[in-house]
Structure 1
């Protein structure tokens, strides 16, 4: 079976939006299956402008927000915008939804609770039906709806993993590019499927991975360190995690105290030296080519359907070429493991 790959990216304030079309075309031509755009209104250019440009510049790749939320935009607004994306792309839109973090906090809101997400998923299903539905205290109908656009939920913790497995078309599996960590998460996905009486084939599991490859290990580590700090900050409130990760709790606390919202994912972030090299190499893929290829092969031994790589800023065309022509090519040359 052919392995499936995706790309996740944001359009930084320093990048012209016009470059989005060029990059999307290159991603599509290289055979990536999905293209996800970060929705962070304070740190990235508008996600819908970027997605619509990508839709008009590509033929095959799936396109979606990776991920949006229920707070910064009302579900009716998101549903209508996603329907427009679906029209422009010829039926290639997907909706990535999450509890919200940087985008929500930046708007003075709070991340959605589990029950709110469950309700929100149901609301999107009703809106995408195109039929009249009783929502928000009245009867509403999304006039632009033409189909049930697939809904993916971004998840990392047990209850969210189970919710996605029970209710969604796909899972954006976030947290770490660590096989042991991912295997722990997948157990909760399997539990959710079983509880809902769903077959595994009804759910697409898309593992999001942040990676940097360089012959100089320290250069690769520093390239992903700011992202690793943002992850460490999100881990701080977790009540449950794999036993092997308990040793990082002091780093999670330091990251939560030092994390700067304005520098979210920035390669120049001042907070990025808070976490250890050991944590960075656990949460991200960083090192020389052989190291990264071997870890990707290990990840493919898990019960996942797609691996999506974050296309970091700074020489994106070069990063894309390295990923597709060198790393993925070498992973595939190794067979099924």
Structure 2
């Protein structure tokens, strides 16, 4: 087992054909990635279940799941059946990623779901898998044929969601950032939730979501990927800025960015996109890049990923924000992953190994 397991997005806004989905998933598998994800955002990306089916029948080992779904655009029985189908097609390699909803729901004129709705959705799916029946919004629903429960992973970007995920999820993708103090704070919330259900951190499959661009010059990568910095500020800090480890002097600028964010451009590459321009206009580039991303040449990636490993992080899922996703996957497999080492006991900075 390598010191760190990697995941990446194999399907997203930039994917223009089925062949690209297959190539990305196969490349990730060939270069040692553990799992791949597919965007679930009908207004700006191809259909997620088609993408996951293509991945399932064209790979052998990588885990496959939506990154991420939401509780509003599909009934939980529809999601449970769809994911059981992907699990069957892949030979037991499916996971289900879900959160409250971002571009998929806002591009339909909705708002993100409440945490109570998210919890009800997760519990309904779990009951469908374990009991064959569940309750959603006061009405019964059934699933009669699923062979095994598909693991349910919650993507969490705030303290309340982290705590909820620690309490009910099989796995978590932590999207709060990778600054050391943020990592520690996130673990504290997850652990609190885990303890509420009689679990330990070690009982939960914890991944850290990091936005990434592997490039020759960090400045070029930042220019190309600025729009995803805006996306992070928009959704990771949504609803409230309190208790999210944000410096006080930055909070007014975050609020301005959220007010002007363009959902039609969500995660769209390009230095001239409005969301990209907002980051620099508001002076947020450095803070958001340091908190949410790893962008730079291979040696910079080695340093940053090694730093995460030394903090006890064992699993990192990358969002690829580059015009050359296949080059990113190859570069990670050849020029980064082989150089990551196990931390010595004195180097591990977190209280637990994840």
Give the structure-2-normalised TM-score.
Answer: 0.88
Change (3 A) 1:87 1:333: same
The 3-state SS of whatever aligns with 1:118 is helix
Q: Which runs of 5+ in 2 are unaligned?
A: 348-354
Partners of 1:107 and 1:244 lie apart in 2 by 30
Query: Quick check: 239-248 or 52-61, which moved more?
Result: 239-248
Aligned to 1:70: 71
Aligned to 1:11: 12
Aligned to 2:278: 274
Partners of 1:98 and 1:79 lie apart in 2 by 15
User: How far does residue 138 in structure 1 lie from its aligned partner after superposition?
Assistant: 5.1
Aligned to 1:44: 45
1:319 maps to which of 328, 333, 338: 328
Contact 2:224 2:322 survives alignment (8 Å): no
Contact 2:10 2:25 survives alignment (8 Å): no
Cα deviation per residue 1:112-162 (whole Å; 9 max; x = unaligned)?
Answer: 111111111110011112524455555432123111110000101111101
Partners of 1:241 and 1:188 lie apart in 2 by 11
The 3-state SS of whatever aligns with 1:93 is coil
1:264 maps to which of 245, 262, 266: 266
Change (3 A) 1:162 1:19: same
The reply to whether residue 101 of structure 1 matches residue 102 of structure 2 is: yes
Pairs within 5 Å for 1:95-244: 95-129=96-130, 131-133=132-134, 135=136, 137=138, 139-234=140-235, 235=237, 237-243=239-245
Q: Which runs of 5+ in 1 are unaligned?
A: none
Aligned to 2:352: none
Partners of 2:136 and 2:99 lie apart in 1 by 21
Aligned to 1:255: 257
1:331 maps to which of 324, 340, 346: 340
User: How far does residue 9 in structure 1 lie from its aligned partner after superposition?
Assistant: 3.9
Partners of 1:322 and 1:85 lie apart in 2 by 29
Q: How many residues align?
A: 337
The reply to whether residue 293 of structure 1 matches residue 302 of structure 2 is: yes
Contact 1:96 1:153 survives alignment (8 Å): yes
Cα deviation per residue 1:192-216 (whole Å; 9 max; x = unaligned)?
Answer: 1122210222201110111123332
Cα deviation per residue 1:45-81 (whole Å; 9 max; x = unaligned)?
Answer: 1111111000001111110001101101111111111
Partners of 2:269 and 2:135 lie apart in 1 by 46
Contact 2:310 2:343 survives alignment (8 Å): no
Partners of 2:249 and 2:9 lie apart in 1 by 29
Aligned to 2:350: none
User: How far does residue 35 in structure 1 lie from its aligned partner after superposition?
Assistant: 0.8
What RMSD in Å do the two structures reach over aligned CA positions? 2.1
Cα deviation per residue 1:163-221 (whole Å; 9 max; x = unaligned)?
Answer: 11111110011132323222211110111112221022220111011112333221021
Contact 1:209 1:307 survives alignment (8 Å): yes
User: How far does residue 315 in structure 1 lie from its aligned partner after superposition?
Assistant: 1.8
The reply to whether residue 306 of structure 1 matches residue 315 of structure 2 is: yes
Partners of 1:24 and 1:116 lie apart in 2 by 32
Cα deviation per residue 1:294-329 (whole Å; 9 max; x = unaligned)?
Answer: 121111233433111112352221111112111222
Query: Quick check: 69-78 or 235-244, which moved more?
Result: 235-244
Q: Give the structure, 1 or 2, with the largest relative contact order (CA under 8 Å, sep 6 or more).
A: 2
Partners of 2:150 and 2:110 lie apart in 1 by 27
Give the structure-1-normalised TM-score.
Answer: 0.93
Partners of 1:213 and 1:12 lie apart in 2 by 18
Partners of 1:137 and 1:192 lie apart in 2 by 26
Aligned to 2:351: none
